[in-house]
Amino acid sequence: MDERTTDNQAPRILVVDDNAMNRDLLVRRLARQGFAMDTASGGLEALEKVAKNSYDLVLLDINMPDLDGISVLSQVRETKDQSELPIIMVSARDASDSIAEAINKGANDYITKPVDFPVAQARIRTQLDVLQTHKKLKESEERYALAFRGANDGLWDWDIQNGRVYFSQRWKDMLGYGQEEFGNQPDDWFNLVHPEEVERLKLAVENHLLGQSDALEHEYRALHKDGTFRWLLTRGVASRGADGQAVRLSGSQTDVTRTKAYDPITSIPNKFLFMDRLEWLLDKERRKRRGRYAVLLIHIDRLDELRQTLGPVAGEEIIINAAYRLIDSLRVEDSVSRLFEAEATTVSRHDEADFAVLAEGCRDESTAPKIAERLRQAITKPMEVAGENLVLTASMGIVAGAMEEGLDATEVIAHAASALSRARRKGPGNYELFDKHMQQRAIARLKMETDLRRAVADGQLALHYQPIVKLDSGEIAGCEALARWRHPERGNIPPAEFIPLAEETGLIDLIGDWVLEEACTQHQKWSDGRADKVDLSVNFSLLQMQRDGVEDRVMDILNKTGMDPRRLKIEITESIFMEDMDRIKGILSALNDEGIGIAIDDYGTGYSSLSYLKRLPITHLKIDRSFIGDVSSDIAAQAIVQSTLLMAQSLGIEVVAEGIETIDQEALLKVLKAEYGQGYHFWRPISGDDFAALLTRPAHP
Ligand code: C2E
Ligand code: MG
Ligand code: MG
Q: Which of 499, 573, 605 to mutate to test the pocket of ligand 1 (most atoms within 8 A of CB)?
A: 499
What is the fold of 289-434?
Alpha-Beta Plaits (3.30.70)
pLDDT of residue 188: 93
- Centroid of ligand 2 to alpha carbon of 662 (angstroms): 20
pLDDT of residue 515: 97
Atom of ligand 1 minimally distant from the CA of 660: 18
- Centroid of ligand 2 to alpha carbon of 89 (angstroms): 97
Contacts of 615-619 with CB under 8 Å at 24 or more apart are 615/581, 615/585, 616/584, 616/585, 616/588, 616/589, 617/588, 617/589, 617/592, 618/588, 618/651, 618/653, 619/569, 619/592, 619/653, 619/654
Q: Which of 516, 522, 539 to mutate to test the pocket of ligand 1 (most atoms within 8 A of CB)?
A: 539
**Ligand that comes closest to the CA of residue 659:** 1
For the chain, the domains span 12-146, 151-260, 289-434, 443-694
CA distance 215 to 235: 7
- Centroid of ligand 2 to alpha carbon of 491 (angstroms): 22
Q: Does domain 12-146 have CATH number 3.40.190.10?
A: no
Question: What's the half-sphere exposure (Cβ side, CA atoms, 13 Å) at 292?
Answer: 14
CA distance 211 to 238: 9
Mean pLDDT in order along the chain per 10 residues (701 residues): 50 94 90 94 94 94 92 93 89 77 85 82 85 74 49 80 88 89 92 89 92 87 80 86 85 78 82 85 71 94 89 88 91 53 85 92 86 92 90 94 85 90 87 76 74 89 97 95 94 91 84 96 88 89 88 96 96 81 91 96 77 86 91 83 88 94 94 94 96 78 47
- Centroid of ligand 1 to alpha carbon of 491 (angstroms): 18
CATH number of 151-260: 3.30.450.20
- Centroid of ligand 3 to alpha carbon of 219 (angstroms): 68
Residues 6+ away with beta carbon under 8 Å from 77: 105, 106
* Three-state DSSP state, 450: helix
Identify which of 576, 557, 583 has the alpha carbon closest to the alpha carbon of residue 568. 557
**Residues flanking ligand 1, CB < 6 Å:** 466, 482-483, 494-496, 499, 515, 539-541, 571, 601-602, 625, 659-661, 678-680, 685
- Centroid of ligand 1 to alpha carbon of 699 (angstroms): 23
Q: Does domain 443-694 have CATH number 3.20.20.450?
A: yes
pLDDT of residue 280: 82
Atom of ligand 1 minimally distant from the CA of 681: 18
pTM: 0.49
Neighbours of ion ligand 2 (CB under 5 A): 539, 571, 601
pLDDT of residue 300: 95
- Centroid of ligand 2 to alpha carbon of 576 (angstroms): 14
Identify which of 388, 380, 269, 376 has the alpha carbon closest to the alpha carbon of residue 317. 388
pLDDT of residue 7: 45
Residues 6+ away with beta carbon under 8 Å from 547: 509, 553
Q: Which of 456, 480, 482 to mutate to test the pocket of ligand 1 (most atoms within 8 A of CB)?
A: 482
